[in-house]
Amino acid sequence: MLQKYRQEIDSLKEMVVHKKLIEHLEHNLVEHHDELASLLSLGDIFYTYGLLDKAVEVYEDIIKARPDVALAYYHLGTSLYRMGHLSRAIETLEKGFSLNKNIAMFLYWLGVAYYHKGDKKRAERHFLDLLKVSPQSKMAYYHLAIIAIAKADNKRSIQYLEKLLEIDGKDTAALYHLAAAYMNTHQTTPALVTLRKLLETDPKDIRAKALMDLMHSEV
């Protein structure tokens, strides 16, 4: 099947940045006769450098030949998501997850895809499921907080953001949203403390400065 992509592989060789990746791909094929690993590597190269149509073609070829390979569905789903094909991405990711529920990142991408499709309820469910298998997932806490913010549920967003900051106290996006949630719930002192911590972490953060100015203007 790789011969189908021989022209693309040869053209990629001419780009120095791809050299080691192509060498790894061909090593898999020549030394181990592992066409599946080589095809997955080729798809990853196309994906990494923004050649999404080609990446999709590779992953679809893998699935046609090996419909049991969950990783092919995973990479196809994320490629389709990046292309804006949300319904196809969700269908593909759900199929892959049904084949291998040990790949937790299926839950993350399903959550993201459902969120951008406008189905916040299903998005929330997937991020909560992600926390069950990966309780230290910053991404899950962040997206759950964003969903809570969209619902104007400041109390719950604060809970998620505080959990996230227990994992990484210097996450500037979490600090900003937490300060805003404190402001929305009229908790002035925690909001100021959070903003100061954000500005200590990133003195150039424009959002934090704007919130600080807004707070001072309301005093």
Summarize pLDDT for 35-52 with one digit per residue, the tens. 787 788 888 888 887 889
Q: Which domains does the chain have, with CATH numbers?
A: 154-219 (1.25.40.10)
| CA dihedral of residues 76, 82, 84, 87 (deg, nearest 10) | 40
pLDDT class for 210, splitting at 50, 70, 90?
A: confident
If pLDDT is split at 50, 70 and 90, which confidence band does 112 have?
very high
pLDDT attached to residue 16:
45
- From CA 142, how far away is CA 209, in angstroms rounded? 22
Q: Give the pLDDT of residue 152.
A: 93
Position 128, amino acid = L
**Cβ pair 127, 138 in contact under 8 A:** no
| Mean pLDDT, the chain, whole residue set | 88
Q: What is the pLDDT of residue 159?
A: 97
3-state secondary structure 164-208: HHHHCCCCHHHHHHHHHHHHHCCCHHHHHHHHHHHHHHCCCCHHH
pTM: 0.83
Residue with the bigger pLDDT between 136 and 37: it is 136
Cα end-to-end span (Å), the chain: 68
pLDDT, tens only, 38-90? 788 888 888 887 889 989 999 999 999 999 999 999 999 999 999 999 999 99
